[in-house]
Amino acid sequence: MADEKKYAAYICTGCGIGDRLDPSQMETIATREGKMQSCKQHEMLCSKEGVKMIQDDIDNEGVNHIMIAACSRRAKVEAFHFPTVAMTRANLREGVIWVRPEGDEHQETTQEMADDYIRMACAELRFITPPQPSGQQDLNKHILVVGGGVSGMSAALEAAAAGYPVTIVEKSGQLGGHAAQLHKRVPYRAPYDAPMETGIDALIKSVEENSDIEVLLNSSVAKTSGAPGRFEVEIATESGSSKTESFGAIIQASGFKPYDANQLPEFAYGKTPDVVTNLELEKLAKEAGDGPIKRPSDGKEVKSVAFIQCAGQRSDKEGHLPYCSGFCCTTSIKQALYFKDQNPGCDTTVLFTDLRTPGAPGEDFYRAGQKKEVTFTKGAVSEVTAGGDSLTVKFKDLILDEDTEMTCDLVVLATGQVPNSGPDPYAGMGETEEDLEATAEAEAAAAAGEAAPVEVSVESILNLDYRQGTDLPQLKWGFTDSHFICFPYETRRTGIYAIGPVRRPMDIQQARDDAAGGAMKAIQAAVHAAEGQAVHPRSGDLSFPTFRKEGCTQCKRCTVECPFGAINEDEEGYPVYNESRCRRCGTCMGACPVRVISFENYSVDSVGQQLKNVDIPDEFDEKPRILVLACENDAYPALDQAGMSGVEINPWARVIPVRCLGSVSLSWITDSLNSGFDGIVLMGCRKDDDYQCHFVKGSAMAHERMSKVGDTLESLNLEPERVAVYEVAITDIERAPKLINDMADTVEKVGMSPFKF
């Protein structure tokens, strides 16, 4: 039969595997216990000849399920690429021989370790099938850019240059955003010694003349539905007309709003027109042209000016911004040079507590200011008062450690950027299971008409027709949730990318660089959607979740806990999975209390059968077994690198990589304890605001779920320390093995499990 499963195993003896282990014994285990229909050995399986041997069996013998026992699944990915078959890999190199010391005294336990990995890989193979693309859409190359500032225009030009037509939706009546209000910009090329022309007019002209870019001014997004490859977006205009277009991906470049300086009464803002913000100064400089800058109150030429850095920023005071906006110091240097160039003899002082000049101009631009006799004073400003014909700035000189003051004609407040985000769909929502359950109940009641929807004061930007909210989730301080270290541009809504100051504070050059990256991500999302593949981090994965409807209890746990809004509900309350939105993390699978959710190549059974097929010695053998469930993005790579570095791992450990700790089913914990495992170690990514979890909330969800495992252990009369959950980084090469070894010490202390057969 064409769909009959045919199993084959392949054991590599290269890289020292054949020298340290008994391949014949592993072959016997693969065929007898693993039920492989054939098993072959090769001295270098990743070689051209070895790969051909496997491919020939696929092409000529009808093999469609293969088990490769060689190196880590993270190694030789290109060589072992057989997309038409189901494949598992037993990690004998990094996972066994490289983490175990040589010597006859270690041979028995090292071989047992390898034998178990053969059993586990064979067991996993029997419960997976090759995933097939959903075939839900063709390639849609149309990209939507929301926002016509520097970020949005730059992204549109990048996408159009790659052959992807773009529609820009801009709420105002002109392109350019805040950058169009600037007199000049911070230099972006050597010698970084003077302000440069903004180039915004040329950028706008390039956009308007590009036949692949459609610009819709005085417009906004009224509704966004669908998914990557098939977003349906209703675009409304001020006149009341609207149209709906289809897009492959979306870029949100909604920029920033200037900080409201009215919240700084101590600096006399609003009390005198001669205290202005950095953006307001740009208008004064533009009006002056090449002539002297004049103060607003009386039109007289400014003879002295003070710049107050971090105005309302880097402060825990109510109404202030707790973060640094990054661009302000270089902007103040630029504006100080306006005065030096346009107002001869102007006394120009920059008052700062810390001066930061990130980016290419950096120190060179700061030195340029010094050379033109801009005064940089380290001082903390406490008050600005207006009296007579001048302003008085009171501050503490942080070098001399004394209170002092200065008079000037004009004060410029270096205010920051506030992200122009929509309402945070998760604002005020807790992350515990109790909170999530309460949220699910509230949402269900609202859907049934029993409660009014929550009103938000912030205007929506994308108006997403998602169960999980109208706009992009935020990380902190209102910036969209795209981790600036690990996952720039990525948001929690697949196929929608945030660029520019809406995701973090930045200047013009950084925004243009950001736009290029975001445009490439959007193109990737459109292409992957057309091919039915996942995007980062499981790029290329064709699998997507399905569920067994007759077993579903409609608890809504999966819809609430999905970090990416990939699950809606039908009119009967059953989950509706959207494969193009899905990142394939499996968090829904781990959340399901009745275990009805699965992927073709990853399921409760595919992992559950691995742990059940580990050989568990009885208590008299004094050989404990420790189950390690390791996140494939951080913990598992750390263990691989430990092997490469020769760091020893306890021989009792059996490591199973999981897509995300959020995919861990509690059934795996109970099944492993019932099977006789003596300890369990779960290793996931860092959670909290500075998360490193590739699936955003998976690690946090797992920690919350596992916090209740103690009750299960107590009911089984087992010690709670037998299960440990850790946050592990990819750099924890020494620490990750130590956590496993620590569990071995714990087992030795508390004794082996009473559930040994």
Residue 516 lies in a domain: yes
pLDDT tens profile 204-259: 999 999 999 999 999 999 999 999 999 999 999 998 899 999 999 999 999 999 99
Alpha helix stretches (DSSP H) within 376-460: 433-447
SS (H, E, C) 704-722: HHHCCHHHHHHHCCCCHHH
Residue 562 lies in a domain: no
Residue 561 lies in a domain: no
| Whether 385 and 282 share a structural domain | yes
| Whether 78 and 103 share a structural domain | yes
Q: Which two tokens stand for residue 108?
A: 């028995």
Q: In this structure, what DSSP letter does residue 377 have?
A: E
- CA–CA separation, 558 and 597 (whole Å): 9
- CA–CA separation, 631 and 727 (whole Å): 10
Q: Where is average pLDDT lowest: 431-445, 699-713, 731-745?
A: 431-445
pLDDT at 445 over 70: no
Residue 449 lies in a domain: no
| Whether 110 and 1 share a structural domain | yes
What band does 483 get if pLDDT is binned at 50, 70 and 90?
confident
Mean pLDDT of 174-203: 96
Residues ≥6 apart with Cβ < 8 Å to 559: 440, 467, 468, 567, 568, 569, 575
Residue 6 gets the label, from left (phi > 0), alpha (psi -120 to 50) or beta, of: beta
| Whether 644 and 699 share a structural domain | yes
Using DSSP's 3-state secondary structure scheme, residue 426 falls into coil
Residue 712 lies in a domain: yes
pLDDT at 432 over 60: no
Alpha helix stretches (DSSP H) within 632-726: 635-644, 666-675, 698-706, 709-715
What band does 451 get if pLDDT is binned at 50, 70 and 90?
very low
Q: What is the mean pLDDT of the chain?
A: 92
pLDDT at 455 over 80: no
Residue 578 lies in a domain: no
What pLDDT shows up at residue 448? 47
Provide the sign of the torsion angle of the four alpha carbons 600, 604, 607, 610, taken in this order. negative
The distance from CA 720 to its chain's CA centroid, rounded to whole angstroms, is 32
Of the candidates 78, 51, 76, 48, which has an alpha carbon nearest to the alpha carbon of residue 66? Answer: 51
Query: What strands, in cross-sheet order, belong to the sheet with 402-408?
Result: 275-277, 410-413, 304-308, 347-352, 375-387, 390-397, 402-408
Task: Report the chain's C-alpha Rg in angstroms.
Answer: 31
pLDDT at 117 over 50: yes
Q: Exposed (0-12), middle (13-18) or buried (19+): which is 341, by Cβ within 10 Å? A: middle
| Whether 377 and 277 share a structural domain | yes
What pLDDT shows up at residue 757? 57
Give the number of residues written for the chain: 757
Q: Where is average pLDDT lowest: 32-36, 86-90, 716-720?
A: 716-720
| Whether 302 and 411 share a structural domain | yes
- CA–CA separation, 530 and 137 (whole Å): 6
Of the candidates 282, 272, 253, 254, which has an alpha carbon nearest to the alpha carbon of residue 414? Answer: 282
Mean pLDDT of 718-736: 95
Provide the number of structural domains found in the chain.
4
pLDDT at 1 over 50: no
What band does 452 get if pLDDT is binned at 50, 70 and 90?
very low
- CA–CA separation, 340 and 302 (whole Å): 11
Residue 290 lies in a domain: yes
Q: Where are the beta strands (DSSP E) in 551-658?
A: 567-569, 575-577, 597-598, 626-631, 653-658
Q: Which two tokens stand for residue 549?
A: 């409807």
Provide the residue type at 574 as one letter.
Y
What pLDDT shows up at residue 429? 57
| Whether 246 and 265 share a structural domain | no
Alpha helix stretches (DSSP H) within 316-472: 328-342, 362-371, 433-447
| Whether 305 and 291 share a structural domain | yes
CATH number at residue 213: 3.50.50.60
Are the C-beta atoms of residues 184 and 196 closer than 8 Å to each other? Answer: yes
| Whether 122 and 171 share a structural domain | no
Are the C-beta atoms of residues 236 and 222 closer than 8 Å to each other? Answer: yes
What band does 715 get if pLDDT is binned at 50, 70 and 90?
confident
Of the candidates 149, 144, 136, which has an alpha carbon nearest to the alpha carbon of residue 166? Answer: 144
Residues ≥6 apart with Cβ < 8 Å to 128: 65, 86, 88, 600, 601, 602, 603, 606
pLDDT tens profile 280-329: 999 999 999 989 999 999 999 999 999 999 999 999 999 999 999 999 99
Task: Label residues 571-592 b or e (16+ Cβ within 10 Å = b).
Answer: eeeebebbbbbbbbbbbbbbbb
What pLDDT shows up at residue 484? 64
| Whether 753 and 676 share a structural domain | yes
What band does 435 get if pLDDT is binned at 50, 70 and 90?
very low
CATH number at residue 747: 3.40.50
The parent domain of residue 162 ranges over 143-255+420-430+459-530
Percentage, residues of the chain above pLDDT 70: 95
Q: Where is average pLDDT lowest: 171-180, 408-417, 680-689?
A: 680-689
Q: Which two tokens stand for residue 661?
A: 């700790």
Q: Which two tokens stand for residue 144?
A: 């939507």
- CA–CA separation, 480 and 487 (whole Å): 12
What pLDDT shows up at residue 488? 85
Q: Could you say which of 362, 394, 416 is where a domain stops?
A: 416
Backbone angles phi, psi at 44, to 5 degrees: -155, 90
Residues ≥6 apart with Cβ < 8 Å to 357: 329, 330, 333, 363, 365, 366
Packing angle of the helix pair 635-644, 735-750 (nearest 10 deg): 100
Preceding omega of 537 cis (within 30 degrees of 0): yes
| Whether 308 and 186 share a structural domain | no
Q: Where is average pLDDT lowest: 152-156, 363-367, 555-559, 627-631?
A: 555-559
Q: Could you say which of 530, 558, 590 is where a domain stops?
A: 530
Q: Could you say which of 362, 391, 416 is where a domain stops?
A: 416
How many other C-beta atoms are found inside a 10 Å radius of the C-beta of residue 306?
A: 27
Alpha helix stretches (DSSP H) within 39-149: 48-60, 104-125
Mean pLDDT of 414-433: 81
Residues ≥6 apart with Cβ < 8 Å to 532: 132, 133, 134, 135, 136, 542, 544, 579
Residue 470 lies in a domain: yes
| Whether 622 and 713 share a structural domain | yes
